[in-house]
Chain A
C-alpha cells in the first residue's frame, strides 16, 4: 500500500532524514519509533506531502507527489497531536469536513453517503450526542476523538497517526488505540503511527521502524525490532530494565 524509497529531508544544512526506505502492506500497523529528533514526524509529513523531500513515496503503486490533493485524501488520512481550532465550530461540522474529498464538485450539497459516513464516524467514536457542541468547550481528549471521527469519516485506506495520544490521559489513550485497532480490522486498511511509548508500540504494532538521527537502525516485525539490543543502542540506556522497573510496582495489586 505504501512504499518509501530513499526518503531524505533536509532543512538548509540540517539533514532530518537520510535515505530511509520501508513499506507497509494491507492489515499492517507500522510503528515508527526512536528518540526525539530522530525524524519520526518528518517521515509522516513527507508521506502526507506537507514537507519537502527527495526520494520516492508510492501510494498504491503511484507516486504520491503526483496525486491530486483530494484523491490523496481519499487514500491517506492523518491524525496529528495538537489541535487548536480557530473558531467555535460544532463537533458535527468538524467531523463533516472529513467528507471534503468525497463530495465531488462544489455544487453537490446533498449526498446521502456523506451524511451516513458522518453518522457512522460519530457513532463509532461515541460523539453522536455531542455533535451540536462547540469544539472550543471540549477537553483535549474529547477533541482528539472528534478529529479521529473526522478521519474515520474521510474513510482512507492508510491512516497516519502522529503521536495521537500525546498529552492525553490514560482513558483517552486506551480509547484512541482500541478505536484504531478496531478500524484496522476491516480489509484493505493499514496504519502507520509515530509513538513515543515503546510499550504501546509493542502492544499494538505489527511492524516497527526504529530511527536514530535520521537513519533507519532496524525494521521488520515489531517484536524483532523492539528488542533490548536495538533499543539500548539507540536510547543509550537499558530500556527493558527501566520498563520492567516501572511495571514491577504494579505487581500484586
Chain B
C-alpha cells in the first residue's frame, strides 16, 4: 500500500521552506535593517539582553514580527479552511467565500463598527466577537435553509445557498452603512482590509484558534477523504455524515471569523492554495491538509512581503497582491490540467 501520511522528509521539506519564507519576511521590510542588525536584535531578544538599537529592535520585534506571525497564521487558516471545504463539498471551487462565511463574518465586523460594539480594553475584541458570531450564524442559517430544502444537504444546494447568502449579505451591508453614515469612513477603511497593526495578541488568538479548529479539521481527514470521493460513499462506509459536516463547518466558521476580523477578507488564498498543493501531494487529506497549512503560510507571507516592500514606503492592500498572484496561478493550473 502507498503511504497515506506525510513522510518525514516531506514534512521536513515543507517546514524548511516555510521557515525560510518566515526568515525572509522578518529580514526584509519597508525599512531596511541590515542582516547583521536583525540577527543581533533577535539574539538579544532571545537572550533577554538589552537592545542597543532601539528603532531597529522596535520595528523588528513590535511591528514586523507580530505582523509576519499573523500573516503566516492567517495564510495557514485560510488554506486549511479552503482545503476542508473543497473536500467536504467535493467541489474544487468551494471556499469559505463561496459558502458565504467570509461575507457573513465581514458583515459582523461592519455591524460592530457601525454600532460601536467594542470592548474598551481591546478595540479588536468587539469586531472579532461579532465576526465569529456572524460567521457561525450565517453557517447555521445556510445549513438550516439547506436542510429545509434538501434532506441530504447536497453540494449544489449548499453552494447555491452560499451564493444567494453572499448577495443578501452585501445588500445588508449597504443598509448598515446607510444607517451609520457617521461611521462610513471607518467602514470603508475596514472593508479594504489591512494586516497593519497586527499584535502578538492577534497572533496568539489566531494561533490558539488554528490549533483548536485546525486540530478538529485534521482529525476529520479520513472523513474528508470519503466526502471527496463522494457523499454517497461517505454514507455507505459508515461516516456519520451530518456530524462530520457540522464539525467541519463550525471549525471553518470560527477560523474564518477570527481571520476576517484581524486581516479583513483576503481573496484567493483558500481557493488557490489547495489546488496547487493537490498537484504536489495528491488529494488524500492526510497529506493535503497539513501541506495546505504550510503552503498557505508561504503564499500569504510572500504576498505580504510584496505588498509591504514593492512601493515602499507606500503599502499595497494584501488582497490586491493575492488576487493578482492567485489569478495568474489559477490560469497556469487550468492550462496544465487541460494539457495533462
Contact = CB atoms under 8 A, between A and B. Distances in A.
Interface in A69-116: 69-74, 77-78, 80, 83-90, 92-94, 96-98, 100-101, 106, 109, 115
Contacts, number: 99
Contacts of B282: 88-90
A50 interface: yes
A132 interface: yes
Contacts of A83: 230, 233
Contact of A106 (B5, B222, B241): B222
Nearest to A102: B238
A196 to B, nearest CB: 20
Given A93-B225, A106-B222, A101 B232 contact: no
Q: Is the interface of B mostly helix, strand, loop or mixed?
A: loop
B238 A52 contact: no
Interface residues on B, range: 20 to 34
Contact of B240 (A68, A78, A87, A97): A68
B229 interface: yes
B265 to A, nearest CB: 26
Contacts of A80: 232, 236
A173 interface: no
Given A106-B219, A106-B222, A72 B238 contact: yes
Contacts of A144: none
Contact of B229 (A68, A71, A85, A154): A85
A96 B283 contact: no
Given A52-B151, A70-B240, A92-B1, A97 B229 contact: yes
B182 interface: no
B238 A90 contact: no
B4 A73 contact: no
Contact of B236 (A77, A88, A90, A93): A77
Given A89-B283, A115-B1, A97 B233 contact: yes
A100 B237 contact: yes
Interface string B225-246: 1101110110111111100000
Contacts of B90: 86-87
A6 to B, nearest CB: 21
A213 interface: no
Given A89-B283, A97-B229, A100-B226, A74 B2 contact: no
B15 interface: no
B174 interface: no
B284 A89 contact: yes
Interface string B1-45: 110110000000000000000000000000000000000000000
B4 A93 contact: yes
Contacts of B284: 89, 93
Interface in B46-99: 87, 90-92
A97 B283 contact: no
A131 interface: yes
Nearest to A73: B238
Which among A48, A93, A106 has the greatest number of chain B C-beta atoms within 10 A?
A93
Nearest to B91: A86
B237 A87 contact: no
Contacts of B241: 69
B278 interface: yes
Contacts of A78: 232, 235-236
Nearest to B288: A87
Nearest to A77: B236
Contacts of A84: 230
Contact of A101 (B4, B5, B91, B237): B237
Which among B1, B152, B239, B284 has the greatest number of chain A C-beta atoms within 10 A?
B1
Interface in B148-163: 151-152
Contacts of A70: 238-240
Which among A92, A98, A100 has the greatest number of chain B C-beta atoms within 10 A?
A100
Interface of A: 48-52, 68-74, 77-78, 80, 83-90, 92-94, 96-98, 100-101, 106, 109, 115, 118, 131-132, 147, 150-151, 154
Given A118-B1, A150-B233, 13 more contacts: A49-B235, A50-B235, A68-B240, A83-B233, A86-B87, A86-B228, A86-B230, A87-B228, A87-B283, A88-B283, A93-B4, A151-B236, A154-B238
13 contacts: A69-B238, A70-B239, A72-B238, A73-B236, A73-B237, A77-B236, A86-B283, A87-B283, A88-B278, A97-B222, A100-B237, A147-B233, A150-B237
CB-CB nearest 3 A-B residue pairs: A73-B238, A87-B283, A101-B238
